[in-house]
Amino acid sequence: MSAPQPQQAKPRRLGLYIPWALFAAAALGWMIYWHVLAGQAQRQLADWAVEQSEVGGEASFGAVSTHGFPRLMRLRIEDARWRPPGQGWRVETHAFDLNINMTNPSHLMLKAAAPITLTQADGAVHRISADALLISYRQNNGALSQAGIEADALIADNPAREGQLRAGKLVLNLRPDPRMPGAYQAALEITNAHLARPARAFEAFGQDIARLQAGLVLDRGLALMEGSDRLANWRQAGGQIRIEGASLAWGALEGEAQGVLGLDEARRIAGEIKLRAPRPAPALLALVKSESISDDARGALALLAAGFALSGDDVEIDVKAADGVLSVEGAPVRTIEAAY
């Protein structure tokens, strides 16, 4: 009997070594890629801050640390402050996380790690906090592909004034409208909201809004990204917000709406909304109780409520903002101040 051939075991051992070698090479390559991407992200962040200063803005931050290896790329950014170019307002926070999609670095997600302070040009301060606050931004070939904000237990308040604006859940998503160049589609959903103060002329509806859902189209949206007075640019370019569909449950007011809103030359909201309400009489009677509307408007709204109560059908109510006056079915309800 011939002796065994020991050299035959070598190919078998080699077959065991190759997968481990490939795994080690892939792991090393991924580690290098992770650290290269982390370095690039920090350099781009520093370059962006310099660019903001060069074009008249302001951006600064303190320590930047990287986390999440090997699966995630997360930059913890401390003591951040930003004022957009040509704007008087600024935003700052003690810390937030910048999460980068490892397979698509153009997809960024910001997660608040501390309350956010928004200071307006007139010095008014607003503090924003939430159990969870996420902002996502995705690009495609250098242009916005999709952006969104999602917040749980959101609270916004002005320390100089009483009351807090709260929302149990807020979701806002934005993307280019494929039907019209330069326009953007927005989907908004707010549940369990509480207004900081009663809305003038709508005090009887209360401060709690159970639900607000809206599908919007922002026409001429690119104009909002140009110049120092971006809202003025947007208005002059013919910018409007088209409400393609909305539903609202606010106290006695419940219904669905469509319409168009914009700004007039005095920077006041202008436009028209058609509100289809299954039970319009309680909402109109609530308006009648407001002390901020005139006696003539109160009488007209009471007559409308009586007529709608008799009909018992779904009714389309015309809400119009023009020349600084908000009217319901032609009855002036309140004056409209400049939006900004």
pLDDT score recorded for residue 84: 87
DSSP-assigned letters across all residues of 257-295: EEEEEEE-TTSBEEEEEEEEESSHHHHHHHHHT-TTS-H
pLDDT score recorded for residue 15: 64
pLDDT score recorded for residue 297: 80
pLDDT score recorded for residue 200: 85
Total-model pTM: 0.84
pLDDT score recorded for residue 1: 47
User: Would you list the domain boundaries of the chain?
Assistant: 31-272
Asked if residue 280 lies in contact with residue 315, where contact means CB atoms within 8 angstroms, the answer is: yes
pLDDT score recorded for residue 182: 87
Residues of the chain with pLDDT under 70: 1-17, 227-228, 310-314
**3-class DSSP state for residue 55?**
coil
Whose tokens are 């003539």? That residue is 296
Q: Cα separation of 288 and 314, whole Å?
A: 20
pLDDT score recorded for residue 12: 61
Asked if residue 129 lies in contact with residue 150, where contact means CB atoms within 8 angstroms, the answer is: no
| Ramachandran quadrant class, 312 (left: phi over 0; alpha: psi -120 to 50; beta: rest) | left
pLDDT score recorded for residue 7: 53
